Chains A and B, each alone.
Chain A
Amino acid sequence: MDYNKLVKDCLKGLPGAQRLLYEHFAESMLGVCYRYTKSMPDAEDVLQEGFVKVFRNLHQFKGEGELGAWIRRIMVNTALNFLKKNSRYQSDLSFLDPGLHPVSDDNPEVRLNARDLAELIRQLPTGYQTIFNLHAVEGYSHVEIGKMLGINEGTSRSQYARARALLISWIKVQTVDSKMETYVRP
């Protein structure tokens, strides 16, 4: 797909091009929004708001870098704003001071499918969930995360370690369960 032409057409206000751009990225971007929220309606809210921002700010996309990555950044930022603004998430989005945190070298193999893994990530407390997504999935450093969330680097590191440990323990349980299930039902 010729993204440059698509962007130009969108900037001209052609409804067909806007629809095409939306349909091309909507599914993967909903996956992003889904990971940051706790419910599908919330994820769709973020997606909707994110795409409105995308179309309003499309003139700022200079064609440098990938369009998908640019849209994804907008979605992530929109999701973070949503979490900050939404009272349902605010209480759970408090970050405690960095203290001792589990240091684990455990690197279990993830055999779960994408949806199941996303469900586990969404089970994490919002603070853990957000930092895990930002660091493990988006690849932001703890310094960057600290700036994005207004916390210090140590807090981000600590929260991430806890989130990682918790998630790994759940993944292990899930993997054992699925193995047992496979054994019981040949």
Chain B
Amino acid sequence: MSDHEFEKSVQRKMDGLKLRPSDAVWQAVEMNLYRDKRRRRAFFWLPAAGILLLIGGYFLYSGSTGPVKDPVAQTQESAANTSSTQPSVQPATRENAPVSNPEQHSTAGGHSGQELSERQPEPGNAASAPSTNHNDNIISNHNTSRDRQSAERIAEKPNQQAHGTMQGRVSGDNNVNKQPKNKIDGRATATSERAKIDFAATQGTKSATEEAKHSDPFINNSLAGLSNEASQPEVVVLHPATVPGIEPLQVLSPADIASMPDSTVRVEIAALLSGSIRCFALPVPPKWQWGIAGIAGVNNISEGSVFDLLNAVRVEDVTNAAPAPAFTGIPPVPVPEASPIRTGPVFTAGAFVQRNFSRSLSLSIGLQYTYASAYTKVGKRVDSLTTVNYGTTGSRLTNQYYRADRQMHDYTNRYHFIELPIDLHVKLNRSLRTPITLSGGFTLSQLVYTNALHFDGMTRVYFENDHFFNKLQAGFQSGVHIGLFQRSNHPVMAGPVFRYFATNLQKKGETAAEGQHIWSAGLQVKMLLKK
């Protein structure tokens, strides 16, 4: 044999080595591909939303459109609608609940909730099921076999599972109390995906099943084998008082359950009540989270109150220029007007820390840099010493100013802030895939640099003097955010925000400023780095 004959022989043999992978491998690959596709779609959607917002902002500013409905009010309205519909279902469902139907229970060969919950994990998979840590990301981690285990669980016995679920009965709340919690937790993550399918299947309504089908290809595949026997959907709200020893339970709509991400949801109890009722306890979010945030939008200056945003504003005249006295027969000389101020871009970038108090309430504090701007028009720049006036009698020398000529050109007033925003966030819906959050809070901003101009109405010149500005600004902001990519390790919240600085831009006592305020509107994107 030649020198490398052994290697060649090994190579030939190994080239012929073929092993058949389990079906779950392809399912896991397909799931990853599907997720990629959805991410691409979302990235395509985001710029479009941003453009829409900018267009909306433009119309808001130009005043060419009718009154714009406040997005916050809209959200509150929709939240009110949602909340008003939910309780109306509750009494009806309690009445319809076939809890006291032991005959059907026994003849159908069903199981009590306890039996069912113990029966659910497959014997082989029970040992390898993910731990009780319900924050484990079952789906997103494609490097591990957990994806496939989860997929296998879905694919293996969907019929049996769904059937058992539909036949499952619980004789009363007492049974629930007796359920060992650790046992439930043990199979919680392992069965979450399957339970999602079960629920959708048991709804019996076309819409619920369709929604579930659209949520994931696995659900789509697995639902194919499920029968259509189902009862009507029921919703029952359980409070800790009624189920002592168990965490507060939250009832989710079929849409919520169909869109339930495994990474965050722990299935607390399957078949808690009879028939098609399912209750799920959502995990309490971690106490502390942090991330990065950015805003892009439009910025402008207003005068008067927060309700006068759309009024045209001119460069602040810091003098008390009064009209020249009228002589007999000659009309008074009007005070020259400063140039109007127009909208400019605003950008914010920073980081935040968030403290979660409950599933729906959190507080965040951040540190961020903001660049705000506004355009105006000025005449020729003169680099020469001159005296400018402010207030009633004040005057000072400046070595650079702009004339108010006939030939005017654009000038950008730039403001650079370091800010400390503090926001309270309230989750408006129960959706896990697209949570909607209403935010509101205040910001302390330190103006670190500006080149904004003041107007001297007496000499008709524009000049810079940052001493006239209130460096410390206090403002408030509000916004609505929609959660995106909630399954990923870095969920994103995006939505419109509005901010208004309540502090006067210029010092009132020192100058004759009447009180201008900075405000901005834009699209904020926040990304959690620690989920």
Contacts and interface: CB of A to CB of B under 8 A. Distances in A.
Main secondary structure of the interface of A (DSSP, over half): helix
A118 to B, nearest CB: 5
Interface stretch (B31-39, B199-207, B259-267): B31-39
Interface in B10-32: 10-11, 13-22, 24-26, 28-30, 32
A109 B3 contact: no
B17 A115 contact: yes
A101 interface: no
A26 interface: yes
Interface residues of B, number: 36
Nearest to B18: A27
A128 to B, nearest CB: 14
Contacts of B30: 15, 18-19
Nearest to A10: B33
Contacts of A105: 3
Interface of B: 1-7, 9-11, 13-22, 24-26, 28-30, 32-33, 36-37, 142-145, 147-148
B17 A35 contact: yes
B11 A27 contact: no
Nearest to A31: B17
Nearest to A108: B6
B36 to A, nearest CB: 7
Interface string A127-166: 0000000011101000000000000000000000000100
Nearest to A43: B19
A114 B13 CA distance: 5
A35 B1 contact: no
Contact of B26 (A22, A31, A49, A85): A22
Contacts of B10: 110, 117, 136-137
Interface string A169-181: 0000000000000
Given A44-B25, A110-B6, A117 B13 contact: yes
Closest 10 pairs (CB-CB, A-B): A31-B17, A27-B18, A107-B1, A114-B17, A107-B6, A30-B19, A110-B9, A136-B7, A114-B13, A52-B32
B434 to A, nearest CB: 24
A136 B6 CA distance: 9
A30 B3 contact: no
A114 B36 CA distance: 37
Contacts of A18: 30, 33
B9 A45 contact: no
B6 A13 contact: no
A90 to B, nearest CB: 15
B9 A48 contact: no
Interface string A1-35: 00000000000010100110011001110111011
Contacts of B19: 27, 30-31, 34, 40, 43
B37 A137 contact: no
A5 B162 CA distance: 41
Contacts of B1: 107, 109
A126 B36 CA distance: 33
A45 B145 contact: yes
A164 B362 CA distance: 61
B143 A45 contact: yes
B127 to A, nearest CB: 13
A112 interface: yes
Most chain B beta carbons < 10 A, residue from A18, A19, A107: A107
Contacts of A113: 13
Given A13-B37, A22-B29, A114-B13, A44 B2 contact: no
A52 B9 contact: no
A185 interface: no
A31 B32 contact: no
A168 interface: yes
A114 B14 contact: yes
B285 to A, nearest CB: 28
A27 B18 CA distance: 5
B29 A51 contact: yes
Contact of B142 (A15, A43, A48): A48
A52 B25 contact: no
A56 interface: yes
